[in-house]
Amino acid sequence: MAALLLLLALFATIVVPLSGEPVGVCYGMMGNNLPSKQEVIGLYGQYNIRRMRLYDPNGEALNALRNSGIELVLGVPNSDLRSLATNPSAARWWVQTNVLNYYPAVRFRFIAVGNEVVPSNGGGDVLPAMRNVYDAIRGANLQDQIKVSTAIDMTLIGTSFPPSAGAFRGDVRSYIDPIISFLVSTNSALLANIYPYFSYTSNPRDISLPYALFTSPSVVVWDNGRGYQNLFDAILDALYSAIERSGGGSLPVVISESGWPSGGGFAATLDNARAFCTNLAARVRDNRGTPKRPGGRLETYLFAMFDENWKSPDIEKNFGVFYPNKQPKFPIGFSATGRIGYSDVYGWGNNVTSFRSDV
């Protein structure tokens, strides 16, 4: 009996060394069956998820984040851009109300001024709003602690293959180039939502599923001596190339969203979502960078924490790595160092205690 108990204890909690960058998760709230804000912050802590992206300054969530140690990317909703762009006092009020009133109990990492703004529809407000928010942050002498950026999607890229030829579309250069210049001048980073899922499903004839899921056994694409074994690296390197062509040099990129749906559309299965999300998390932790920028850290936020039943179309409802009942869809290593309970992760126990911090 003693030997059996010892064996069970060994399987119940095994310390595993994980290296590299912690994996963040985006916390969306577009559902009517989601846990309370306090429960969600507790779930982040339970799974040692150390970084969060929040799309708007929800007061309940910000209060729940106090003294949690979670690093936050806080979004300025697109609907607020006009007022912040045209009125510096509105930007100061926004920063005071939603940032300074919570700092330092909440660990703000980035303020994302707008998300996937269409340059032809509201694009003119993004950079002025970024400048005004930055000035408000600088007024509090926090510009070195809290960075200001915006989140783009890959529709701004005109050329993506091969990655070394990556370039922004000609019609958006007047929008994106000044933003890149501002980010360089403020020592910030560009936030980018990168979804190999959508690239694959838009062209499954030429893009293989293993290449999209990080499961290809060998290099698929060679580009000037650089070998690409997965689509994520290729998209990110195309973005790096585009940034260079827009005068951004080695401006860092934060992957502010990436994920794979587990239902609701083509190739949207639980197995594919598991493969993509777990492999991406491992990819982030390994600190290998990309073929174009080897050895670099890839700050990344998985989309999303939960399935969100208010979203549409159906494919958008199924990106969660957790179900709304707080159960994980599959085990993921979120942190750079952690403790994994195999019995709990695989359903052998009653409580999920995966990847808790050892410190």
pLDDT truncated to tens, each residue of the chain (359 aa)? 444 444 433 333 333 444 578 999 999 999 999 999 999 999 999 999 999 999 999 999 999 999 999 999 999 999 999 999 999 999 999 999 999 999 999 999 999 999 999 999 999 999 999 999 999 999 999 999 999 999 999 999 999 999 999 999 999 999 999 999 999 999 999 999 999 999 999 999 999 999 999 999 999 999 999 999 999 999 999 999 999 999 999 999 999 999 999 999 999 999 999 999 999 999 999 888 999 999 989 999 999 999 999 999 999 999 999 999 999 999 999 986 543 322 233 222 222 222 222 22
Which amino acid would we find at residue 318? N
357: tokens are 């911090």
In this predicted structure, what is the pLDDT of residue 12?
Answer: 36
Look at residue 19 in the predicted model and tell me its pLDDT.
53
Decide: 335 and 355 in contact? Cβ < 8 Å. Answer: yes
21 catalytic? Reply is: no
Tell me which of 3.20.20.80, 3.40.640.10, 3.40.50.720, 3.40.309.10 is the CATH number of domain 19-345: 3.20.20.80
Q: Report in angstroms the alpha-carbon separations of 235 from 158, 183, 212, 244.
A: 12, 21, 11, 14
Separation of alpha carbons 199 and 151, rounded Å: 18
- Note if 244 is an active site residue: no
Ordered by start, the domain boundaries in the chain are 19-345
Between CA 284 and CA 316 the distance in angstroms is: 24
Considering 21, 39, 71, 116, which one is annotated as catalytic? 116
Contact assessment for residue 6 and residue 33, using Cβ atoms and an 8 Å cutoff: no
- Of the residues 21, 71, 257, 316, only one is catalytic, namely 257
Q: What pTM did the predictor assign? A: 0.89
Q: Which residue has the tokens 């990110």?
A: 236
Determine the length of the chain: 359
Integer Cα distance of 162 and 170 in angstroms: 18
Angle, CA 272 vertex, CA 268 and CA 278 arms, to 5° = 130
Q: Token digits for 130?
A: 């970024």
Tokens standing for residue 278: 């777990």
- Taking CA atoms, 40 is separated from 21, 126, 278, 326, 335, in Å, by 22, 30, 21, 8, 17
* Residues 310 and 34 sit within 8 Å (Cβ to Cβ): no
